Amino acid sequence: MDTDKVFDLCSSVCIRGFFSVFMNVRFEVNGIEKVVEAPPMKRLLDVLREELRLTGTKEGCGEGECGACSVIVDGEVINSCLVPVCQVQGCTVLTVEGLSRDGRLDPLQQAFLECGGAQCGICTPGMLIAARALLDENEQPTRDEIAQAIAGNLCRCTGYVKIIDAIEQAAEIKER
């Protein structure tokens, strides 16, 4: 073994041993099983974006107030900035990247496009995920129910009307 490789191995083990604790977390992301090595208290948001390169999920506030980091874990929409990765061991995670299938847009994504439900787009992944969680549980939501379902998702651009229009349209399309 050449000395460079030995040095690299030693330094990475030493650095990890003294300064960081890593764990293996095995979980399903958008239908695919992943194994990630990360500090156990690292935020799910950061693991998705950094280790898994799924940058669709955004950080807006880091305190669970804006919903830009929303993902679905075991069927429930949550703020990934508030979940340490150790807590998703063995779980199923859906991010915005998992909405389209084989290149075909989810009816929600299509509806957002048609209704003009996105302007800058920073809230959009979170909105789509919150909407997906709603429609998975309630196929025919009223506008009030839609508003409640996205109450944890802030948008600074649209004024929410077209977002609600889009979700309503997506629900109708699925009905047909």
List, as one string, the DSSP characters of 57-72.
S--S-SSSSS-TTEEE
Q: Which stretch binds another protein (CB under 8 A): 40-48, 96-104, 114-122, 155-163?
A: 40-48
Q: Is 35 in the site for another protein (CB under 8 A)?
A: no
CA distances from 94 to 7, 125, 135, 158 (A): 39, 11, 14, 25
Q: Is 89 in the site for another protein (CB under 8 A)?
A: yes
Q: Is 77 in the site for another protein (CB under 8 A)?
A: yes
When binding is defined by CB under 8 A, the residue of 8, 37, 65, 136 that contacts another protein is: 65
Q: Is the dihedral of CA 22, 42, 88, 37 positive or negative?
A: negative
Q: 158 — alpha (psi -120 to 50), left (phi > 0) or beta? A: alpha
CA distances from 45 to 2, 31, 34, 67, 94 (A): 38, 18, 15, 11, 12
* Site track 42-61 with another protein (rule: CB under 8 A), x = hit: xx------------------
CB 174 within 8 A of CB 139: yes
We find the least distance from the C-beta atom of residue 135 to another protein, in angstroms, to be 13
Q: Is 20 in the site for another protein (CB under 8 A)?
A: yes
We find the least distance from the C-beta atom of residue 51 to another protein, in angstroms, to be 14
Which stretches of the chain bind another protein, using CB under 8 A?
Answer: 15, 19-21, 23, 39-43, 62-65, 67, 70, 76-79, 81-84, 86-87, 89, 130, 133, 148-149, 151-153
